A and B are shown apart, each in its own frame.
Chain A
Amino acid sequence: MMPEFTYIRAKSLKDAFSHLSGEGARIHAGGTDILGCMRDKIFDVKSVVSISGLNDLKGIRETGEGLHIGALVTLTEIAENPAVNGRYPALAQGAASASSPQLRNQGTIGGNLCQKPRCWYYRGEFHCLRKGGDRCFAVAGENHYHCILGGEGCYIVHPSDTAPALIAYGAAVHIEGRKGKRSIPIENLFVLPSQDVTRETVLEPGEIVTEILLPPPAKQMKSSYRKVRARRSWDFAVAGVALALQLKGDIVSSARIVLSGAAPIPWRSKEAEDSITGKILDTANARKTGAAAVSGAQPLEHNGYKIQLFRGIIEEALITISAA
């Protein structure tokens, strides 16, 4: 059951900031993650500050800068938006593949980026490193779904299906807090355990993601998101890959390859990008790119399969996109 908490429905961003300054204050947007976190008692919550009524954070609009997606836009809205589907198909695919229809109707893009990890030790009755304990239970435990890249001390995987696509498109994330606004490349939003094991994003307490800005896509860009899961709905990525490739004829002139289910953050694989850049997009090179992506992988006892899985999914995604 829930701990006792107060619920505040913010009237404005400013109002939200003032309430969020209190100790134990947490943001509520779609509520799909915070509800579970509270029920599982992952952290103390004294007040829930709902921003769900802030219309400024809703809607998708286009300007010369690109496509602006409000933080409160739901995953369903993104998955069904014609502009997103037309120009940023990887994002539409990522949003559509997250969770279940009910949760996509409720869950927001801001929440999807800022959600807590799904590691079953973190979510369960285990006082793990990320919760202030002294060890990561995944190291010697049931680490089937844990990371093979970027793990250091903590071996979560980042749960977002939209973040890999947004990174592949070079999106920016707008952040606002009491002290003002800032905009950062979304790639810089996420925090590795080696940097700070207790946080997943660079958001300071009281800061809110307000908007995502997708730059206009380059011409000749092909992009996609592909996800493998242990069941076909209502499941996080066991392995996923977002691709954004620029092609000159048959040759890949530049590439962004970002993995989900691989690392504690959405994992941009420079090795994979380097492997395919300047090459013909064919099966042999696709295979090499998959191998390059996992060249630095350090699997745990039960997740070695992910090396083969990422090789397979990257190869498949590259072949599929070449035929598209």
Chain B
Amino acid sequence: MNGNDDGFYYLRGIPVPETPLPDQNPQPWQKTEVVGRPLPRVDAYERVSGNAIYPSDIVLPNMLYAAVLRCPHPHAIVGKIDTSAAERMPGVRAVITGSSPEADFSWPYSPEMKTKLFNPHCRFEGEEVAAVAADTIYQAWDAVRAVSVNYNILAFVSDEAKALATDAPSVHAGGNKLKIDRYSRGDVEQGFADADVVLEETYRSECELHTPTESHGCVARWDGDHLSIWQSTQGVYSIQATVAKIMDLPLSKVRVIGHYMGGGFGSKLGADKFTIIAAVLAKITARPVKLFMTREETLIAAGNRPPVSMRLKAGVKRDGTLTTLDFSAVGTGGAYPAGGTSLVDWLIRDLYLCPNVRTETTDVYVNAGPARAFRAPGHPQCSWALEQMLDALAERIGMDPLDLRLKNIPSYSQARPGNPPYVSTGLRECITEGAKVFGWHEARKKTAEPTAGSHIRRGVGMASALWIGGGGGPPSTIVVKLFSDGSVSLNMGASDIGTGTKTVMAMVVSEELGVKPDVIQIENADTGTTQYATPSGGSKTVPTESPAVRAAAIHVKQQLLALAAVDLKTDESSLTLIGDAVVSQADPERQIRIRDISGLKKRGLIIGVGYRGPNPEGKVINPFAAQFCEVEVNTLTGEVKVIRFLGAHDSGRVMDRLTFDNQVFGGITMGIGLGLTEARILDRNQTGKMVNRNWHDYKIPTAMDVPANIISLPIETDNREANTTGTKGLGEPVTIPTAGAIANAVYNAVGVRITGTPINPLQLCSALALLRKEE
């Protein structure tokens, strides 16, 4: 691991080209006019008014609708399929199964594991068995139900702990153990010997589902042998590469468009099976085909945050020095290789200064839907364990949890070879500034006072975090066009996954060229018209794209000044761009408006190209965070109410204060889901089917579960060395420490440690009753 390697999960299985070095190496911004201000999104009106066309809004002439028959069992062999009744139904234009020659493609669950598109051996409930295209979506579903399938139902395993038993049903030949990863440094046993206090605890983080507002799906259309795909996605180029490879098409004949998209959280990083299915159906019928999953389908078959059982044994000295962390975990990414334990030990390895560390993570197969990257893969799970352990250690040595963390702050990455330093680490400031604004010490003092009489107890807790990625890096190519009237077009490949990418990039252009963000036309996320971009994931889109946008804008400015210099009969180095005019610094009287520059009038257009330069050698760029919260616990019912939250985040320069705060609020909301309400539930003892596959039974937090009082506190570290905009990622760190902070606050309130997510009345009520009995 080095400082430029955070492109892991979101690049898995797709080619990543190199882009040229940028021509520009601009100095860091000193004072900014636009960047950093709280500007509304450039596409806010379109989004709010309904004018924005999301992929699910696409309706093309002669378009058909498709639906997929999915295996209703967690483990079965598909036998005879009878599609004759379905084919005869009104409006049905095509029915495909594993025996259709047109659908004879392989699907890469991972680079190493490929199956058929319609896999006759279904290993999870929801695996694709057949698909239908019909004139209406209702006809398509009626036809799906009319397909009859003989399933040979096999024994299944739902539980990752049981999957390793010798008599467990095998998901794949060769057993259920996918892989074991080990890491160690120092001498763990010596670390225990050096410790004054050693604690050991087991933790569990339940399976969490992405639940983006827009479901997963696409529209596919063939024009001759050209395939166009409109898909709700985080990365159009990732889809293009995978579809071209699977269907053996030149990249130039696969165009993927994803202008707007309604959330992904990691579940829409690339091509999906439905992409290929829609393309096949469109080919057979010679008509465009729309295929979007129902909500229920997305909950069983569009990814999840892997469930994981963790054990952590830790040692600490009385003065707060961590001596050792010994961690093991068993997790599952479901029925195929999907990173079931991916990064689940990273915070153990790297968040706190600790000389002796040992981790062992075991990834196993179970008969459940494959995991997908989910907002900060592995990190919230690990944080759930580590941050609760830190608090338990602090209590045992009589230290404020804050001070224990402050005692162990690293200035370099301990887990990467050569211990490279961080370009910036705001961890200390996140904790101390966050505590100040939150009123940590006062609040802790208050909760420590006896609360006679009332059965409602208050507690405060905190947790800190880092995110392994967030530095960004090449490749990125941006094109900025200046029209003859001074208005601007920005062309970039990256998707705006709801984080405000388009707005932030327009602000960068605005900063350099002086044009207002709302006169910048933005063309993005289209392989036909924009340049290669990696998927928007890993909290790297702003640090990756914004320096390239800046370079492109500067490239435009240089050409503009050169043209102006001809008209002004002066040297271009003496010229500067102020508002809509080019002005001589030596003689401000000497100026010309952009629209009057004769060279620009003649050409009509200036094109600037910007590339993303490399990150500094031997350094690590990671965002840091600390979150604080106050909760109220009803000791009679186990209800937890989150009263307030504060997120202190070091993500380098704040580009847009509004979108920054939005991320913080959203990440905390999602973390409240992990901590208090969400868990996938499989009928593990009987059918293996998911029982809570709807938005009532799978409980994402509502507005009533999230406090109105959330403070976003940016900690702006000096990050100039990282890139030319001084930015680090934000989208993932905002959800890492949330659940652990809540667990610590609940403990502070009532003295009960809930070690498995979610902390709901089901768990807490019994634990509180037990505690009362002990008293």
Contact = CB atoms under 8 A, between A and B. Distances in A.
Interface of A: 1-2, 100, 118, 120-121, 123-126, 137, 140-142, 144, 228, 230-236, 238-239, 304-305, 308-309, 311-313, 315-316
A6 to B, nearest CB: 15
Contacts of B760: 230
A231 B701 contact: yes
User: For chain A, what secondary structure do more than half of its interface residues adopt (helix, strand, loop), or is it mixed?
Assistant: loop
A230 B699 contact: yes
Given A100-B702, A228-B637, A231-B704, 20 more contacts: A1-B138, A120-B692, A120-B697, A123-B694, A124-B689, A125-B72, A126-B687, A137-B687, A228-B638, A228-B639, A230-B762, A232-B702, A232-B704, A233-B704, A236-B696, A304-B766, A305-B763, A305-B765, A313-B636, A316-B636
B710 to A, nearest CB: 16
Contacts of B691: 120-121, 124, 141-142
Interface stretch (B174-182, B653-661, B678-686): B678-686
A235 B696 contact: yes
Please list the 3 inter-chain residue pairs (A to B) with the smallest Cβ-Cβ separation, ordered nearest first: A312-B636, A232-B704, A1-B141
Contacts of A137: 683, 686-687
Given A124-B693, A141-B683, A312-B638, A232 B705 contact: yes
14 contacts: A2-B138, A100-B702, A137-B686, A137-B687, A141-B691, A142-B684, A144-B762, A228-B639, A232-B704, A233-B703, A235-B699, A305-B766, A308-B768, A316-B636
A67 B718 CA distance: 69
Given A121-B691, A308-B766, A230 B761 contact: yes
A184 to B, nearest CB: 30
A239 B684 CA distance: 25
B637 A316 contact: yes
Contacts of A308: 638, 765-766, 768-769
A78 to B, nearest CB: 20
A239 B682 CA distance: 23
Contacts of A141: 683, 685-686, 691
B400 interface: no
A136 B590 CA distance: 87
Interface string B689-722: 1011110110101111100000000000000000
B142 interface: yes
Interface residues of B, number: 43
Contacts of B701: 231
Contacts of B687: 126, 137
Contacts of A144: 681, 762
B601 interface: no
B436 interface: no
A234 B639 CA distance: 16
Nearest to B672: A231
A305 B686 contact: no
A231 B702 contact: yes
Nearest to B772: A308
B677 A230 contact: yes
A90 to B, nearest CB: 18
Contacts of A239: 637, 761
A316 B637 CA distance: 9
Contacts of A2: 138
Interface string B114-147: 0000000000000000000000011001100000
Contacts of A236: 696
B634 interface: yes
Nearest to A229: B761
A305 B763 CA distance: 7
B12 interface: no
A118 B455 CA distance: 31
A228 B634 CA distance: 11
A109 to B, nearest CB: 20
A316 B765 CA distance: 13
Interface in B631-688: 634-639, 641, 676-677, 681-687
Contact of A315 (B636, B686, B697): B636
Contacts of A233: 702-705
